[in-house]
Amino acid sequence: MLNAIRFVANEGARGASMIVIVLCVLLTGCAGGVTQTAQYSAQPQVRPDTIYVYSFDSTPDQVKLDNGGMIQKVASQFSGASAAQKQTQEAFEVREQVADDIVQQLQSMGLHAIRADAPAPANQNVLIVQGKFDTIDSGNRRRRILIGLGAGKSELSTSVQLLYKPAGGAARLVQSFDADADSGKMPGIAETAGVGAAAGHLATSAAVGGGLHGASESKHGGAAGNAKKLAESIAKQVAQMGKTQGWLPAERTEG
């Protein structure tokens, strides 16, 4: 009889852990995308020779740093860097990562995409990806780990423009859209511990929940952690235009 009770308790604990894992997967799935798409002129009917991706405009004063938690405050004091210097550095890192990841995503679809700083060559059919950051918010890492469910979320948002420049012609705006990404609504340690408490295994569940959230935070948390998701959304929008116009096979946009 005692063994049976222990078996049920163990199964309950495993079930609670599985609930935590499922919740984590479901709640971190949707964290941004593309909105406010507007069409301006005819989209390119032929495959661009090259897609030029420019670093999006940003300013340090747009950056909201994560100043929460004693550890970060102590680290800031020892680093000697001012808030303005940190804002400048974060704006630069996020801008570079997003541009690099857009190029990587487009190249994985078989498109000839490159980072660019100079004007596109006059003798090529070129698609230009450019834009500006509207939000670079690091959120509060401590609140994300402890509370979760959107508390302390980090966020990136951009306004993007796609321009097409035919060989020998001038660039013209063909599409604009907004793209954003955030750290999602994964439950924090407090939530996962609550599930464990219901199963009678508070310490175990808190450890499991903390480990899961810590791993997710390393991958998705902070402004820089959202750069990859933002770049994926932007690249998929470019690919969707190629799919609509027939210069990119439909299977290349799936993933």
Are the CB atoms for 101 and 232 separated by under 8 Å? yes
Residue-wise pLDDT tens digits, 140-189: 767 666 655 556 688 999 999 999 999 999 999 999 999 999 876 555 56
Highest-pLDDT range among 6-15, 23-32, 82-91, 134-143 = 82-91
Query: Does the domain spanning 31-183+221-253 belong to CATH 3.40.50?
Result: yes
Domain boundaries of the chain, sorted by first residue:
31-183+221-253
Nearest C-alpha neighbor of 229 from the set 176, 180, 174: 180
Q: First CA to last CA across the chain, in angstroms?
A: 50
Q: Copy the structure tokens of residue 55.
A: 């670093």
Q: Could you report the per-residue pLDDT of 14-70, keeping only the tens digit for each?
A: 444 433 434 444 444 446 799 988 988 777 777 899 999 999 999 999 898 886 654
Q: Where residue 105 falls among pLDDT bands split at 50, 70, 90?
A: very high
Closest CA to 170 of 122, 219, 116: 122
Q: Name the one residue in this structure whose structure tokens are 């495959």.
A: 47
